[in-house]
Amino acid sequence: MKPRTRRFVWIGAGLVAVAAAATLILSAFRSNLVFFFTPSQVYAHEAPQSRPFRIGGLVLGGSLERVPGTLTVRFKVTDTAATVPVTYTGLLPDLFKEGKGVVAQGAMGADGTFHATQVLAKHDENYMPPEAKAAIDAAHAHSGAMSMPSLHEARAQ
Amino acid sequence: MIPELGHFALIVALLVAIIQSVLPMIGAARRDRALMGVAVTAARAQFGLVALAFGCLAWSFATSDFSVANVAANSNTHLPLHFRLAATWGSHEGSLLLWSTMLAGWGFAVTVFSRNLPQVLRARVLAVLGMIAIGFLLFLLTTSDPFTRLFPAPPEGRDLNSLLQDPGMVAHPPMLYMGYVGFSVAFAFAIAALIGGRLDAAWARWSRPWTTVAWSFLTVGIALGSVWAYYTLGWGGWWFWDPVENASFMPWLAGTALIHSLAVTEKRGAFRSWTVLLAIVAFSLSLIGTFLVRSGVLTSVHAFAIDPARGLYILAFLAIVIGGSLALYAVRAGAVGAGGDFAPVSRESLLLGNNVLLVVALVSVLLGTLYPLFVDALAAGKISVGPPYFNTVFYPLMAPLLFLVGVGPVAAWRRAPIPELWTRLRWAAGIAVVTAALVPVAMGRWKPLVALGMLLSAWIAAATLSSLVHRLRHAPQRGLTAKLRANAPAWYGMLLAHLGVAVFVAGVTLVKGYEVERDVRLDVGQSVVVAGDTYTFRGVAAVPGPNYDAIVATIDMTRADRHVTTLHPQKRTFRSSGQVITEASIERGIGGDHYVSLGEPITGSGASGAWAVRIYVKPFVDWIWGGCLLMALGGFAAVADRRYRLARARHSEPAAALVAPT
């Protein structure tokens, strides 16, 4: 092969490799993106029915209950405007508490309950998961009337 | 007084850094020996000053001087001394000071170990390091002063985040930063080469040890972080594809590519401009990694809005460093030259394949880490990219890369005929196939992915060992010691690092393939059988710790009615913050770990109630970190090579004349 031809072969092979890699990455990316929805959006049926997604907000005070004899828990997630019932089977993270922020990943069941496969509440206790905070802020912006004292009441219930 | 001394030292260090970056640069351009000589003095003075500042902050932490805002916010008199010292780098300000101290330390090391360097190159390298130092010191002094006083001083500090009160906090950040910052030397060499327009085999030989050492530290740092995540939190995972982890993994991928590309540049004079580009990329990613984690942008992109001064400074600094060096690269890369020619199958082409795969992997991690931030910053909704994405992308990219690890070291430079490669590697191929067939059977369940993983692991191990045997057999010396001594430490380092890859792959494969994870509810006296072992819950007891109160469970583990061990997982409630931390209890073994962690009380909270308990069996999980350790040891061993110290005598030889048999 002449050096010129060889260079073209190299460049061609490189382009094919890059195209293959891009296809792989982008298809994996598209099928594994997890979108986030607030309880208000779930309430308004904006969340997908078939695909997993994330939901975030505060764990409603007094809503945590255990199914006797199992590791299944039920609780409600609220953004102070709407609440969504959630079930989860397994160990809850250390920072999971009523009235604190939480993010759960899972899918909506036919019963209108969010079936969580993963419950995230991480790092320090002052830290609010960004999604949970965004959900509450969005709800506030919508109603415009929700003041901090009423948020405290929502926590204390 | 001590904090003011530290603050003053930082100001002087900034002035020295300005001198360090300006005068030697002018000197190098004018070939003025006196001006270039300033570089060494300034770099050493800078190290002394920044180390003094760091010592002052550490002193304030050690003596619990709560009149310093940073100490008051991150420490507490109830903290043991080693955690008070570790708290020095527990905050944004402190970790940036640690970064600057290490930067100055690397600069000092350059002045000590690079006496053989041509003066022009050394002056430029130190000047570039000085410029980076200016950026960091200015950032510290203007937006993140660690010595700010608090008046009136509180009687007691808040606390170090309970999660950080762990031996991991003492070792992990310094190791990680040694790696991040170490790439600044490779970067400085690259920039110096671009400015000088000269990049030859000697240049590559000088940059190699620095890059390798930095990479080894980074490897250790990442592995320590992984171990830490494994035993705290009670999740039992060793890698989560969390953005914080990805931030350290991206420079590692770039650094790994750089090490291999530098090998080609040194031995064959090829890949020159590519090597320079990789050096720039590796350091840029280190900077991005530091700032991603430290700026709080991962927690929320709006962290920038809360503290716009810091955010703007960071963006401007990144733009100047990355944009500036890439612009310089665009203008000067032509002067550096491309390098020699090689056949489609040769060690060069195999290493090219290595680089392409590593860079594609790097891009995929970058995309998965930054894309959610961009979407969030554009207020286009919130998304997350989880482990499934990274796993889908990584397996197909890593499989061919691991195959290349076996072939590369055996292939000859320039041209490696395939029949010859086959003759050298057929034994390794045979061993790999047999291992792939037997291991899944021995583990009790056939799984195609496990077979593939073991195939690649055994392939690397067998190919590496066979090249050792080949070398020793064909060495002209008599006697094993003489034969062993005939090879360079760099070559042994490479073998060791590649064996580390094999061990790592075996660990990952077996954990992924055969781990058992069970969440169970246990009453006192109740037993559960997991993977053939019986775990009996004996109840919990309250045990006070130094600055926390722990609930300690007792769980007996028996196998075939014989007592194996007693495990004591804990729940710690920290007194100052009220935060609860899970401490897993792990029975470690070379064949795998038995991992028990405590969930929450289910019925009642007294000694008689039932608890949620998590029981994991993790076969060969320690091989993951053992493999990383071998990789890092290989890196450190490679640096011991004599040829890195004999650089000067031969530096003017052309690249082609340096084709050593290594």
Summarised one tens digit per residue, pLDDT across range B86-100 is 999 988 899 999 999
Interchain CB contact of A25 with B (< 8 Å):
yes
- Kindly tell me if the per-residue pLDDT of B21 is higher than 90: yes
**Measured between CB atoms, which of A3, A17, A94 is closest to B582?**
A94
Interface of A with B in 138-157 (CB under 8 A): none
- Kindly tell me if the per-residue pLDDT of B468 is higher than 60: yes
Of the pLDDT bands very low, low, confident and very high (cuts 50, 70, 90), residue A11 is confident
Distance from CA of A107 to the nearest CA of B (A): 15
- Kindly tell me if the per-residue pLDDT of B654 is higher than 60: no
Asked if the Cβ–Cβ distance from B397 to A21 is below 8 Å, we say yes
List, in sequence order, every residue forming a beta bridge with B556; answer none if it has no partner.
Answer: B536, B566
Q: Which residue of A has its CA nearest to B161?
A: A124
- Kindly tell me if the per-residue pLDDT of B457 is higher than 60: yes
**B101/A133: higher pLDDT:** B101
Q: Which residue of B has its CA nearest to A71?
A: B521
Asked if the Cβ–Cβ distance from A70 to B521 is below 8 Å, we say yes
Cis peptide bond upstream of B155, omega within 30: no
List, in sequence order, every residue forming a beta bridge with B68; answer none if it has no partner.
Answer: B149
Nearest to B355 by CA among B224, B254, B221, B232: B254
Asked if the Cβ–Cβ distance from B393 to A91 is below 8 Å, we say no
Asked if the Cβ–Cβ distance from A124 to B519 is below 8 Å, we say no
**Measured between CB atoms, which of A29, A105, A130 is closest to B300?**
A130
Residue B228 with chain A: CB contacts under 8 Å: none
CB B507 within 8 A of CB B621: yes
Backbone angles phi, psi at A55, to 5 degrees: -130, 145
- Kindly tell me if the per-residue pLDDT of B413 is higher than 80: yes
Q: Which residue of A has its CA nearest to B573?
A: A94
ipTM: 0.77
- Residue B355: HSE in the Cβ half-sphere, 13 Å Cα cutoff: 23
Helix extents (H) in A34-144: 39-43, 130-143
Asked if the Cβ–Cβ distance from B389 to A89 is below 8 Å, we say no
The most confident of the ranges A97-111, B6-20, B318-332 is B6-20
Summarised one tens digit per residue, pLDDT across range B178-236 is 999 999 999 999 999 999 888 888 889 999 999 999 999 999 999 999 998 888 876 78
**Measured between CB atoms, which of B384, B386, B571 is closest to A36?**
B384
Q: What is the pLDDT of residue A15?
A: 85
**Measured between CB atoms, which of A3, A24, A131 is closest to B382?**
A131
> Mean pLDDT, chain B, as a whole number?
89
Q: Which residue of A has its CA nearest to B372?
A: A33
CB A38 within 8 A of CB A135: yes
Q: What is the pLDDT of residue A49?
A: 83
Using alpha carbons, list the distances in angstroms from residue B638 to A30, B231, B661: 42, 32, 16
> Mean pLDDT, chain A, as a whole number?
78
Summarised one tens digit per residue, pLDDT across range B102-128 is 999 999 999 998 888 899 999 999 999
Alpha-carbon distance of B38 to B16, in angstroms, equals 10
**Measured between CB atoms, which of B356, B376, B597 is closest to A17?**
B356
Residue B597 with chain A: CB contacts under 8 Å: 91
Asked if the Cβ–Cβ distance from B581 to A94 is below 8 Å, we say yes
Q: Identify the residue among B382, B389, B397, B583 best suited for mutation to test binding to A, counting A beta carbons within 10 A and taking the highest.
A: B382
Cis peptide bond upstream of B152, omega within 30: yes
**Measured between CB atoms, which of A34, A70, A94 is closest to B386?**
A34
Asked if the Cβ–Cβ distance from A28 to B360 is below 8 Å, we say no
Distance from CA of B366 to the nearest CA of A (A): 11
Q: What is the pLDDT of residue A128?
A: 60
**Measured between CB atoms, which of B386, B393, B602 is closest to A25?**
B393
